[in-house]
Structure 1
């Protein structure tokens, strides 16, 4: 028992020491000349020198260099200009949240970022989502007002899930992305329901990609993909500009009062006739 306890504390000490060495080794060894040096900074400066000497004398400099190189490379990859969105100024955004699957953002999940949006706020929040496919069902609750979601292109940033009417007790709940808040805006992102196309005569195979039930929502350069009942334009006043919409059998449906501005090649459907009603 005594040996195990000693081994535990020795291991903890060396892990702690190595962590401190890594931390100090990755910081600049000299203070910036333009800043005023305080006694605390002088102490840190001397401590840095001590740790650097320990590393050199122990022969662990090569190992530490490899580790810090990996850490710095990862940091450099995270410093991307794509986070500098023009929407920040255009919409007077007060809060920006980043979603990235590689650890370069505030969150790795879209739903986590949505949950972090201030409730019932009159200020605008922007969620920037990096390229990739995010397999999750996302719900924007009614109290998440004044929210903008921006992807890196509708072919590059995709949010998808695979619920159906059968799996959610109804078509209305089968959405991959649901918007229930007012003043929601999306740019350059796709919403997809990955449920397979239903067989002829199949019951309960409706699979909604997006359900939008909040008022004053807008979608710019977005994609909507599904096999059946793709876009549930449920309720409210909505605007769709230069979006790609794909599906079959009521692939755009609902009771909303919406305006669609699309080009001829922006609709893809497997029906003989398509009727778009302006209510």
Structure 2
């Protein structure tokens, strides 16, 4: 990251009011950690391992989430091994400081297909919904494969403060990432979609991310962001 980029990030963060000082400090610290010697992985030993083949502590991500402590200040590291996890993951507000560590955005994939076209409201269609403060994810793909014809189909809904995503992929058509609320940081992520695919009322920073527009259906328009 160049000095100019760093200065731009810091200048943007200074626009936050005084209640956001803690988030500002966390983001700057994260940027410092990531740029030292190139971007580094989260290397903390996992508390539990999720593996579809039975080689870990749990076969599903939600089982590992349920096993974590409630309202924890200490981070709880969940390693998610290679595989396609067809499940809906909900990080409730009392499940705080959870960290997901995958094996690569092309290897560890969380997959769902709920959609507005299927008769479900936008808030409840996310493949992964985050309400727990301090959530982090690295090297994971979040996908909603409902398809463009089903209107809104959220891959990630983030509604908690201090959420961070590093080297993650978000794949959908409409409303891919629902940055619903609070303060969020995304670095070196890939985001794919067609209509309003980064949407919501959160204060979110996207640094060194690839935003890729997919081909919409005939008659549909293209818009990257919406509030």
Q: Give the TM-score taking structure 1 as reference length.
A: 0.61
SS state at 1:149 partner: strand
Q: Which runs of 5+ in 2 are unaligned?
A: 1-39
Q: Runs in 1 of length 4+ with deviation above 2 angstroms?
A: 85-89, 166-169, 270-277
2:87–2:112 Cα contact (<8 Å) kept? yes
In 1, the alpha carbon distance for the partners of 2:186 and 2:64 equals: 24
1:193–1:226 Cα contact (<8 Å) kept? yes
In 1, the alpha carbon distance for the partners of 2:182 and 2:65 equals: 21
In 2, the alpha carbon distance for the partners of 1:273 and 1:227 equals: 10
Q: Which has the higher contact order (CA 8 A, sep 6+)?
A: 2
Q: CA deviation at 1:273?
A: 6.3
Number of equivalences? 183
1:163–1:193 Cα contact (<8 Å) kept? yes
Q: CA deviation at 1:274?
A: 5.0
In 2, the alpha carbon distance for the partners of 1:86 and 1:242 equals: 12
In 1, the alpha carbon distance for the partners of 2:225 and 2:174 equals: 16
Cα RMSD for the two superposed structures: 2.2
| Structure number having the greater helix percentage | 1
SS state at 1:133 partner: strand
The 1:184–1:167 alpha-carbon spacing in structure 2 relative to 1, beyond 3 Å, is same
Alignment equivalent of 1:211, drawn from 157, 178, 183 = 157
SS state at 1:163 partner: coil
Provide, for residues 195-246 of structure 1, a one-character-per-residue CA deviation record: whole Å limited to 9, x for no partner.
1221xxxxx6210000000111000000000121111011010000000000
Q: CA deviation at 1:103?
A: 1.0
Aligned partner of 2:181 in structure 1 is 235
In 1, the alpha carbon distance for the partners of 2:180 and 2:103 equals: 26
Provide, for residues 34-83 of structure 1, a one-character-per-residue CA deviation record: whole Å limited to 9, x for no partner.
xxxxxxxxxxxxxxxxxxxxxxxxxxxxxxxxxxxxxxxxxxxxxxxxxx
Aligned partner of 1:41 in structure 2 is none
Q: CA deviation at 1:276?
A: 5.4
1:165–1:172 Cα contact (<8 Å) kept? no
Alignment equivalent of 2:106, drawn from 149, 155, 165 = 155
In 2, the alpha carbon distance for the partners of 1:164 and 1:154 equals: 23
In 1, the alpha carbon distance for the partners of 2:129 and 2:203 equals: 17
Q: CA deviation at 1:185?
A: 0.4
Aligned partner of 1:74 in structure 2 is none
Aligned partner of 1:128 in structure 2 is 79
Aligned partner of 2:122 in structure 1 is 171
SS state at 2:157 partner: strand
1:98–1:105 Cα contact (<8 Å) kept? yes
Check if 1:143 corresponds to 2:98.
no
In 2, the alpha carbon distance for the partners of 1:127 and 1:134 equals: 14
In 2, the alpha carbon distance for the partners of 1:238 and 1:194 equals: 24
Aligned partner of 1:97 in structure 2 is 48
Check if 1:244 corresponds to 2:182.
no
Q: Give the TM-score taking structure 2 as reference length.
A: 0.75
